[in-house]
A = this chain, B = another copy of it.
């Protein structure tokens, strides 16, 4: 099977080889020093301010979304939530569950956030801002410089879900005034699913220490304290963390994050150019699109997007990424993260062309 979903994505050979190794005991100085290195490299790759820290959470990206909301905000806050897709909607849900006062900016799915959307929120006492870097369900890349400037100007704490956008799209905590941001192991890092990572600046560290959430597994102050000696409070996915270490070093040795951004952009551009004559509409406009994923709507009447996912899986041995909820029958997605070759992209394009020939697409 060839995998064009947005996670788990295709792992490279080096990561796979490590997956076969025995997993070492981890309460040792040897593992601690690997973890300290992981923390340093992740901070570098997020372009985080000095003295930033990382929470290594065993759990999905949602675990770190919820962990962040529990640790950075409380009932005295008033936050803005951008809801432009399934993951924006999840941020709304989390604010509701944890009773964080919020105002939602509800966008038509597939459309970007604009200056106009933010105007009404200037100087009216908001304290937090929650947004995706890339809304994975629609492929929209939000204008993080616009958002960062707005938050900086208004003294607002900015928490970014960069789970799928990190490495694919330009991202800098320093330049975009981000206080905390997340990614997940099974996205562009192309490791097995199991871990998510939150980078915290000084303000985020202060917030979670003050809030000191009433939860053991999500208690960030404990993670920060144990992290000082390169450890986690509970047994983490040790194998994934070793694969992370090797992967971060390979990234560093091959041009760093800038080069990763370029490679993702090259894959996305190549794909988007190759499908120009196929019966698809782009769900988000090119200039607002993440390099991580392309969301497509089949344009021929009567074509069901989920059915296309099934046929491509069962008859061509390729996974594209189905959408859920309201979008399920109209939209599917093609991911551009992980270890994907030009030949594999060509194989997918040929499959689409064959479906057109067969009158299915």
Contacts and interface: CB of A to CB of B under 8 A. Distances in A.
Given A193-B239, A235-B186, A237-B192, A97 B216 contact: yes
A295 to B, nearest CB: 16
A235 B7 contact: yes
Contacts of A252: none
Given A94-B216, A214-B97, A236 B5 contact: no
Contact-residue size bin, chain A (C-beta under 8 Å from the other chain): 35 or more
A120 interface: no
Interface in A203-252: 214-217, 233-240
A62 interface: yes
A1 B21 CA distance: 12
Contacts of A236: 60, 193
Contact of A321 (B25, B63, B233): B25
A235 B8 contact: yes
A102 to B, nearest CB: 15
Contact of A25 (B8, B90, B235): B8
Contacts of A66: 215-217
Contact of A192 (B3, B16, B23): B23
A342 interface: no
A348 to B, nearest CB: 14
A26 interface: yes
B23 A20 contact: no
Interface centre among A27, A60, A62 (most CB of B within 10 A): A60
A22 B4 CA distance: 13
Interface in A76-124: 90, 93-94, 97-98
A68 to B, nearest CB: 12
Interface in A17-34: 17, 19-28
A315 to B, nearest CB: 14
